[in-house]
Amino acid sequence: MESLFLQQTLNGLIIGSIYSLIAIGLTMIFGVMKISNFAHGDYSMVGAYTAVFLMAWVPGWMGWVGSIIAAAAVVGILGIVTERLIFRPLIGRWTDIDIIMVSIGLFILLENLAQLFFGATPQMISDPFKGATVHIGGVSTSVLRVFCFGFSCIAIGALQIFLNRSKLGVAIRATSQNRFAAQLMGVDINLIYTLTFWVGAALAGVAGVLYGTTFAVHPLMGAMPTLKAFVVTILGGMGNIRGAIFGGFILGIAESLGGNYLAMEYQHAIGFFIIILVLLLRPRGLFGAKEGT
Amino acid sequence: MLRVEEINVTYGKAVALMDVSLHLERGELVTLLGSNGAGKSTLLKCVSGIKPPIKGRTIFDGEEIQKLPSHKIVQRGIIHVPEGRAVFPDLTVEENLRMGAFCRKDENAVRKDMDFVFALLPRLQERINQSAGTLSGGEAQMLAIGRGLLAEPKLLMLDEPSLGLAPVLRDNIFAVIRQIYQEKDITILLVEQNARWALQVAARGYVLENGRIRLEDTGEKLAANPHVQRAYLGY
Ligand SMILES: Nc1ncnc2c1ncn2[C@@H]1O[C@H](COP(=O)(O)OP(=O)(O)OP(=O)(O)O)[C@@H](O)[C@H]1O
Ligand SMILES: [Mg+2]
């Protein structure tokens, strides 16, 4: 009984770390540009396909680690392209709702392009550790998942260091708190937009590789990460990065425990139940105290 | 140093500034008076590149700048301390000040200016690791001014620095502005609700009404002008 609880908590932590990774980008983009990007999960889809193709070439753990780096690069570029070509021309000119509709259009476009080029058949990212598992004190998990968790935490940690220690990182936070004032400090706002999309998309791309090792890779797989990331973002407070990190772990654990103690079928509903509760009781999100003025 | 020539600025169809011209010579302290909605903040935004004019020119140190993006204008030394402080609430006081120095490379010079700001505004040093959102109104205004100073301004544009402050704090801010003007090689464009004080410290002043310059004169003469006395000095 107790070990089942621990086991589910561990599973939740692992999937939660991936949710965090996806949600960080979504919330950063929202904070800086006030854009709700419904195509965000498709960055993960493209990241997952990057891994599928690369690992067909280079199998094993080298291919897997290479895929993570390649996904960050490829999806980072995709992020920059979408920002420059689609979002930047609209920001400040179109209303928020219009931009949301455009992002939904982008989501449909990317899904269909993926079907066209990659086909509709689901694929798998093969397990570079060949199904090896580890057991620690009554709980067990696959080596693969341990590595997924490790990579997520490294990426989250690196981002935190960047945002807190580097000049550009602090400028991203400043822009998200007050765009006008940031401009008056001499921040090139367009550079910050590009940088934010680049980093946010690259993280989602990495998360896609990790996500794709657990779930099937197919053209429509991006919708679920998008929805999960929105749950996390609302839970943590729109634009709040720390909120997104904690929110991801909270959602992962809640789903995992809920799926176990309630019913597996309700697992995905739990996140939306949480959204309703948060919006009713604390619409700024659990961590959204002041951010986003 | 700064020359604004016949600019027009609009928000959609609404005209906020119409044929506005003004100039500041190096080392001057000039004030800009006007009632609510006259267009004072818009004029500062226009100079700092946030709201470019649809007509006219702004010239700084002999070069046209009205088409430059705001970060290029900041790099030239035009620093705008906005109305309502606009500090970054979730950054610490120190991070806010460092944001002021965003465009600067010379770390030693920044350090020196940081010391100058702390000597001028000791409250900021006491609160250095506190997030700016927890500061009082007066402290936040000091932070906004300190942050502006860290940008190494040649021209400092202050938008209603005493707005919403209790009289003691307001006098404190006035003293700080005076001290900055005396100790730094700086030119100041001051937008201030407290016209009495503004006309005392400023060598010259402009009166902006409904988006147009209505009067332009020395501080003394403006203070003696019957229209200014009625409209802004409350006689
Ligand atoms: N973002 C905006 N969109 C539309 N109209 C605006 C905007 N900002 C200002 N205005 C309008 O432009 C005019 C000038 O505004 P501005 O803020 O420059 O006045 P101000 O002199 O600074 O007033 P205050 O003393 O209240 O600060 C006003 O009529 C105002 O309503
Ligand atoms: Mg104003």
Counting other chains too, the contacts that A169-172 makes at CB distance below 8 Å and 24 or more residues apart are A170/B91, A170/B95, A170/B98, A170/B99, A171/B99, A171/B102, A172/A28, A172/A32, A172/A196
Calculate how close chain B gets to A189, using CA atoms only, in Å: 8
Q: Which residues of chain B does A174 touch, with a Cβ-Cβ cutoff of 8 Å?
A: 88, 91, 95, 99
Residue A286 lies in a domain: no
Q: Is A181 close to B98, i.e. CB distance below 8 A?
A: no
Rounded Cα–Cα distance for residues A208 and A18 (Å): 8
The answer to whether residue A289 sits within a structural domain is no
Domain count for chain A, please give it: 1
pLDDT tier, A284 (very low <50, low <70, confident <90, very high otherwise): confident
Which candidate in B80, B102, B130 is best for mutational testing of the A interface (most A CBs within 10 A)? B102
Q: Which of B86, B103, B133 sits opposite A181 (nearest CB)?
A: B86
Report how far apart, in Å, the C-alpha atoms of A255 and of each of A17, A149, A224 are: 13, 17, 14
If residue A140 lies in a helix (H) or strand (E), which one and from where to where? strand A139-142
pLDDT category of residue A261 using cuts at 50, 70 and 90: confident
B79:A182 CB<8 A: no
- Whether A232 is in a domain gets the answer yes
Interface check A194 vs B, CB under 8 A = no
Residue A70 has pLDDT above 80, yes or no: yes
Residue A160 forms part of a structural domain: yes
Residues enclosing ligand 1, CB less than 6 A?
B 11, 14, 16, 34, 36-42, 83
Report which bound ligand comes closest to the CA of B42: 1
Q: Say if residues A175 and A182 touch (Cβ distance below 8 Å).
A: yes
Band the pLDDT of A289: cuts 50, 70, 90.
Answer: low
Q: Is B164 helix (H, G, I), strand (E, B) or coil?
A: coil
Return the biggest CA–CA distance within chain B.
50
pLDDT band at residue A288 under the 50/70/90 scheme: low
Cβ–Cβ contacts within 10 Å for residue A287, how many? 18
| pLDDT at residue A291 greater than cutoff 60 | no
Residue A112 has pLDDT above 60, yes or no: yes
Tell me the CATH number at A109: 1.10.3470
Do residue A290 and residue B90 have CB atoms under 8 angstroms apart? yes
Question: What is the pLDDT averaged over residues A3-26?
Answer: 93
Distance between B221 CA and the closest CA of chain A, angstroms: 33
- Report how far residue A35's alpha carbon sits from residue B193's, in angstroms, rounded to the nearest whole number: 37
Q: For residue A287, is it within any domain?
A: no
pLDDT of residue A19: 96
Q: Which domains does chain B have, with CATH numbers?
A: 2-232 (3.40.50.300)
Residue A258 pLDDT exceeds 90: no
How close is the Cα of B39 to the center of ligand 1, in Å? 6
pLDDT at A274 over 90: no
As a whole number, the mean pLDDT across chain A is: 92
**Is residue A127 assigned to a domain?**
yes
**A252: containing domain:** 2-281
Instruction: Dump pLDDT digits (tens) for A195-229.
Output: 999 999 999 999 999 999 888 999 999 999 999 99
Q: Using CA positions, which residue lies closest to atom 18 of ligand 1?
A: B39
Is A293 a domain residue? no
Answer whether residue A290 shows pLDDT above 80: no
pLDDT by 10s per residue, chain B, length 235: 999 999 999 999 999 999 999 999 999 999 999 999 999 999 999 999 999 999 999 999 999 999 999 999 999 999 999 999 899 999 999 999 999 999 999 999 999 999 999 999 999 999 999 999 999 999 999 999 999 999 999 999 999 999 989 999 999 999 999 999 999 999 999 999 899 999 999 999 999 999 999 999 998 999 999 999 998 887 7
The rounded Å distance from CA A237 to ligand 2 centre is 31
Q: How confident is the model at residue A252 (pLDDT cuts 50, 70, 90)?
A: very high
Q: What is the pTM of this model?
A: 0.92
User: What residues of A are in contact with residue B89 (Cβ under 8 Å)?
Assistant: 177-178, 290-291, 293
ipTM: 0.93
| pLDDT the model gives residue A1 | 58
- Chain A closest-CA separation from residue B49 CA (Å): 9
Q: Residue A50 and residue B30: Cα distance in Å, rounded?
A: 60
Q: How many CB pairs under 8 A join A and B?
A: 71
CB-nearest to A173 from B74, B82, B90 is B90
Residue corresponding to tokens 């959609």: B12
Does position A92 have pLDDT exceeding 60, yes or no? yes
Task: Dump strand ranges (E) for chain B.
Answer: 2-11, 14-24, 29-33, 55-60, 63-64, 78-81, 155-159, 187-191, 204-209, 212-218
In testing the pocket of ligand 1, which one of B8, B41, B85 has its CB within 8 Å of the most ligand atoms?
Answer: B41
- Please give the Cα distance from A173 to A182 (Å, whole number): 9
- Which whole number is the average pLDDT over A45-60? 94
Confidence of residue A292 (pLDDT cuts 50, 70, 90): very low
